[in-house]
Structure 1
Amino acid sequence: MLNNCTFVGRLGKDVDLRYTQNGKAVANFSLALTRPVADKNGTRHADFIRCQAWGKTAENMADNLTKGDMIGIQSRVQTRTYQDQSGNNRFVTEFVVEGFPQFLKVKKWENGNGSNNGNQNRNAGQNNRQQNPFDNNEPIDISDDNLPF
């Protein structure tokens, strides 16, 4: 049997890092996946899926990612049940990250080509402002050896 899902999307909120009683790191986050087809009004909606990562992967995600960052994950689907405070059974479906996710962080330009969302750089003392490399209209020199195809 095969239980493997691959997603590329944007973080719906900052990664929520917690630790179990045994000291194992667990990160919960939502991934926004934009639907490929627009509705009749031309609006493309997004689905938000619940995801979870464990161990060093969870800590790395919490340290390096913020809301709005684009990432790719390979995961497996998992369902579980629990009883809420009223005694009702609740069912949860989530995607558990398998291996190390690919951080496809897209730079957030401050000059109107994207949103900075007011996030501050996690490393104190570093300048959060980044230059858009395409502003100067100069050709980019890329050798054929660096192309993936």
Structure 2
Amino acid sequence: MLNRVILIGRLTRDPELRYTPAGVAVTQFTLAVDRPFTSQGGEREADFIPVVTWRQLAETCANYLRKGRLAAVEGRIQVRNYENNEGKRVYVTEVIADNVRFLESANRDGGGGGGQPMREEPSYGGGGRASNNNAARSNNQDPFSDDGKPIDISDDDLPF
């Protein structure tokens, strides 16, 4: 059996961080995910999917995600139920995330606010080039960066 979900969308509000009585961090937020089609009126529709994260991931999401930010969530769907104050059974469907990727940097123009630094994957020269080529080389750990010199490769180095 398989219960796996991957979503990409924008946060509808800042994540809400709480702690269980045992001191375990839990964060809840809602992800707005565009539907792949338009309505009859030509408008895009979205699904608003509740996401829950636990422990260190919960604290990281609370610290770095903000309303409007683009994020990828990987996890599983969980359906739980409880009885509310009026005695009615309430069913809740949510995604329990075990991996969240931050898809935008914190300082992008028109960002979701917050100004907090985002954890980012290492970048190897994929972004814009620095105007000072020496500074770009010293900060770039990419062994294939363009330094203007020919690359010396012998036939023994090639795998074919």
Q: Using structure 1 for the length normalisation, give the TM-score.
A: 0.74
**1:64 maps to what in 2?**
64
Can you list the C-alpha shifts for 1:17-36, whole angstroms capped at 9, x where unaligned? 00000000000000000111
**Structure 2 match to 1:101:** 100
Q: What SS does the aligned partner of 2:59 have?
A: helix
Residue number in structure 2 paired with 1:92: 92
Deviation at 1:120, TM superposition (A): 4.0
- Matched with 1:44 is 44
2:75 is aligned to 75
Deviation (angstroms), 1:5 = 0.5
CA contact (8 A) 2:80 2:92 kept: yes
| Unaligned 5+ runs, structure 1 | 110-114, 124-132, 135-142
Percent of paired sites with the same residue = 35
Within the alignment, does 1:121 sit opposite 2:115 as a pair? yes
Kindly report structure 1 stretches of 4+ aligned residues shifted beyond 3 Å: none
CA distance in 2, matches of 1:102, 1:46: 20
**TM-score of the two chains, using structure 2 as the length reference:** 0.69
* One-letter amino acid matched to 1:93: T
- The question of whether the paired residues in 1 share the 8 Å contact of 2:68 and 2:111 is answered with no
1:41 match: secondary structure: coil
Q: Does 1:21 align with 2:15?
A: no
> Aligned partners of 1:116 and 1:76: how far apart in 2?
28
Aligned to 1:128: none
**CA distance, structure 2, for counterparts of residue 65 and residue 57 of structure 1:** 11
Q: Which residue of 2 aligns with 1:34?
A: 34
Cα distance in 2 for partners of 1:120, 1:25 equals: 21
Aligned-pair distance for 1:116?
A: 4.1
- State how far apart, in whole Å, the 2-side matches of 1:120 and 1:53 are: 20
Which amino acid is the alignment partner of residue 115 of structure 2?
Answer: N
